[in-house]
C-alpha cells in the first residue's frame, strides 16, 4: 500500500526543498519523518507497486547540506515515493480536477475526503505567513478556502459557519472532557488549535519541546531527544494514575 506520511505538505514541501534557501533544520526534520517511515516497514507498511526501495537506515545520519542538490533530490524522490507517485504536478487546475474526481485512485487516497472534512467541520488550514517560515507563502488561507468552493461548491462563509458549529458542539479549546491528556509538539503547526495548558486534574496537557506531528506515537529510537523521552514518561505516568483510580473505583463498587 502507498503511505502518505506528509499529507499536508505536497507541492509546498517540494518547492521548499528545491529552493536555494531550504534550511538545514527543515531537511533534518524531514529526515526524522522519513526514518520513522522506514521503521514502520516492520509493521507491514510499504511503498506502492513499482516504487524503488528507500535508502537503508543510516543514510539519514550523515550531515545534511541544504545547498547540496543531491541531498535535496534524494529527499524529493523519497517524498514522491511515499505519495505513490513518480512525479507531482504543480498545476492548480489539475489539482482541482483530481480533487473533484470520485473515481477510485491508487495515489492520493483520502485527499478529497480530507478536504471535505476541513470544509465542513474544522478548517485546519496550514498557512505560512511568518517571515521565518521555511515553506512558500503562496498557499494562503483564501487560496485554500477557494478549494472548498471549486471542489464542493462551499463558500468561505459556509466553512466559517461549519467551524463555529464544530467548536460549539465539542467545546473548542475548553472541551470539558474527563481523563483526557492532550499531547502536542510545539513544532507541529496544529498545536495552536489544541489544548496546550491543563484545564484541570482531569484535563491534562503536555507540550513537547521540538516535538513534531504525532512524534510521541512513534516507536522509541536511540536518536530521540531528551524532551521526547520525558514526554513519553509523563504520558505513561498519567495513564498509570488514571488506570489505578479506575481500578480502585471498580473494587469499591464490588464491595
Report the chain's mean pLDDT, rounded to a whole number.
75
Q: What is the pLDDT of residues 100-159, one digit of tens each?
A: 998 887 666 788 999 999 999 989 888 877 777 776 666 678 888 999 999 999 999 999
Return the pLDDT at 189: 83
Segments making up each domain of the chain, as ranges? 86-170, 173-254
pLDDT band at 234 (very low <50, low <70, confident <90, very high): very high
pLDDT band at 249 (very low <50, low <70, confident <90, very high): confident
Return the pLDDT at 110: 83
Return the pLDDT at 127: 80
| DSSP per residue, the chain | ----S-TTTHHHHHHHHHSTT--HHHHHHHHHHHHHHHHHGGGT--PPTTPPPPPPTTGGGSPP-TT-HHHHHHHHHHHHHHTT-S-----HHHHHHHHH--S--SSSTTHHHHHHHIIIII-------STT-SS-S-S-HHHHHHHHHHHH---HHHHHHHHHHHHHHH-TT----SSEEEEEETTSGGGGGS--S--BTTEEEEEETT--TTGGGSPP-TT--HHHHHHHHHHHHHHHHHHHHHHHHHHHHH-
Q: What is the pLDDT of residues 22-46, one digit of tens each?
A: 444 455 555 555 555 545 444 333 4
Return the pLDDT at 32: 57
Q: What is the pLDDT of residues 65-82, one digit of tens each?
A: 444 545 556 666 666 666
Whether this prediction's pTM lies above 0.75 is answered by: no
Q: What is the pLDDT of residues 154-212, one digit of tens each?
A: 999 999 999 999 999 999 999 998 999 999 999 888 898 899 999 998 999 999 999 98
Amino acid at each position: 500500500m502507498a503511505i502518505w506520511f506528509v499529507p499536508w505538505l505536497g507541492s509546498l514541501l517540494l518547492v521548499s526543498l528545491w529552493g536555494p534557501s531550504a534550511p538545514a533544520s527543515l531537511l533534518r526534520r524531514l529526515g526524522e519523518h522519513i526514518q520513522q517511515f522506514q521503521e514502520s516497514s516492520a509493521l507491514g507498511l510499504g511503498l506502492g507497486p513499482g516504487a524503488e526501495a528507500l535508502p537503508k537506515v543510516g543514510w539519514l545520519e550523515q550531515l545534511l547540506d541544504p545547498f547540496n542538490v543531491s541531498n535535496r533530490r534524494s529527499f524529493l524522490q523519497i517524498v514522491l515515493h511515499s505519495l505513490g507517485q513518480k512525479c507531482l504536478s504543480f498545476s492548480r487546475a489539475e489539482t482541482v480536477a483530481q480533487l473533484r474526481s470520485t473515481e477510485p485512485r491508487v495515489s492520493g487516497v483520502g485527499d478529497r475526503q480530507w478536504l471535505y472534512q476541513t470544509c465542513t467541520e474544522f478548517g485546519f488550514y496550514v498557512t505560512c505567513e511568518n517571515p521565518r517560515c521555511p515553506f512558500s507563502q503562496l498557499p494562503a488561507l483564501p487560496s485554500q478556502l477557494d478549494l472548498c468552493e471549486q471542489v464542493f461548491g462551499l463558500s468561505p462563509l459556509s466553512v466559517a459557519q461549519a467551524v463555529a458549529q464544530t467548536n460549539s458542539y465539542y467545546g473548542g479549546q475548553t472541551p470539558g472532557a474527563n481523563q483526557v491528556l492532550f499531547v502536542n509538539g510545539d513544532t507541529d503547526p496544529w498545536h495552536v488549535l489544541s489544548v496546550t495548558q491543563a484545564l484541570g486534574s482531569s484535563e491534562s496537557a503536555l507540550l513537547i519541546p521540538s516535538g513534531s506531528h504525532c512524534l510521541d506515537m512513534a516507536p522509541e529510537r536511540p536518536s530521540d531527544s531528551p524532551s521526547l523521552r520525558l514526554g513519553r514518561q509523563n504520558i505513561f505516568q498519567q495513564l498509570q494514575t488514571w488506570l489505578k483510580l479506575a481500578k480502585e473505583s471498580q473494587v469499591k463498587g464490588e464491595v
